Amino acid sequence: MKKNFKNFFNIENNIIVITGGAGYLGSEFSSALSDAGAIPVILDKNKIALEILKKKFSRKKQRGFFFAIDLNNEDKVKATINLVIRKYKKIDCLINAAGFTGDGMLKTNSKFFGKFESYDFKLWEKSLTENLSSTFIATKIVSKYMLKRKKGSIVNFASDYGVVAPDHRIYKPNKKINYKGVKFNTPLSYSVAKSGIISMTKHLATYWAKKGIRVNCISPTGVYKKNHSKQFVKQLSERIPLGRMANREEINGAIIYLCSNASSFVTGHNLIVDGGRTIW
């Protein structure tokens, strides 16, 4: 039993495609998967971030395969996955970690955080495309190869805001506590996209249940970044039972669990990694 138990979490030499794999969270996941013995195939549209991660892998002598690609271009994603299959003959796991975060919205257009009553439909569409459509495209293409092997694990990334509504007070000024507020919020399009990913996960889990493909989801809460204002961190942390935001490495265990045989009887599950936030 002990010998078998050690193998439950073994992902050595597993080919794991990870979309958004060079981002703030994705780069952490990619590195952790490589450290665990897997071969991450990293897809990201940010060429600079991808090159930085590639150099980091080289310094640490980690294994990885890197592609600069627009994840919303179905033809290019298909061509890239074909290259992966030619090289490795299989894909064991797909991690859909690509998403349009608050940082991305700030850099693109501050109107992403505008009032719902006057929200720009084009920005609504862009947010849904960046957060939801890329997951649809990658899953559609990779699943064809998993179906041929009758084996595979798909891990989608949603958010606690796909489970509960955001507490809008954490973004707004509060004179009583001398809080100036922040320039961002959680747009409706983000919450809708993330809840859509959770629904997609459940739908595909039942659709492929007897075909050897498991589909699960991870919904993290806010992940700490050094550029977060101290007051914002305090505002959010007070709403989390564990009293703090997540550190990005704290999501690695959930990923390895859902990629490995340790979760062989788990499908359609939304694993919420939120320090208890959604139980309040």
Residue with tokens 């796909």: 162
Which amino acid is located at 261 in the chain?
N
Which CATH number does the domain housing residue 35 bear?
Answer: 3.40.50.720
- Identify the band that residue 2 occupies on the pLDDT scale cut at 50, 70 and 90: low
- Identify the band that residue 109 occupies on the pLDDT scale cut at 50, 70 and 90: low
In the chain, what is the greatest distance between 2 CA atoms, to the nearest angstrom?
A: 61
Record the pTM. 0.95
Distance CA(14)–CA(89), nearest Å, equals 11
Distance CA(250)–CA(231), nearest Å, equals 22
Distance CA(170)–CA(149), nearest Å, equals 47
Q: What is the pLDDT of residues 153-166, one digit of tens each?
A: 999 999 999 999 99
15's enclosing H/E stretch is: strand 15-19
Long-range contacts of 109-113 (CB under 8 A, 24+ apart): 110/183, 112/187, 113/183, 113/184, 113/185, 113/187
Instruction: Point out the least confidently predicted range of 18-27, 104-113, 122-131, 232-241.
Output: 104-113
Instruction: Point out the least confidently predicted range of 80-94, 117-131, 153-167, 236-250.
Output: 117-131
For residue 3, pLDDT beyond 80: no
Domain span holding position 195: 2-279
Average pLDDT for 26-49: 97
Looking at the structure of the chain, the number of domains it has is 1
Average pLDDT for 14-38: 98
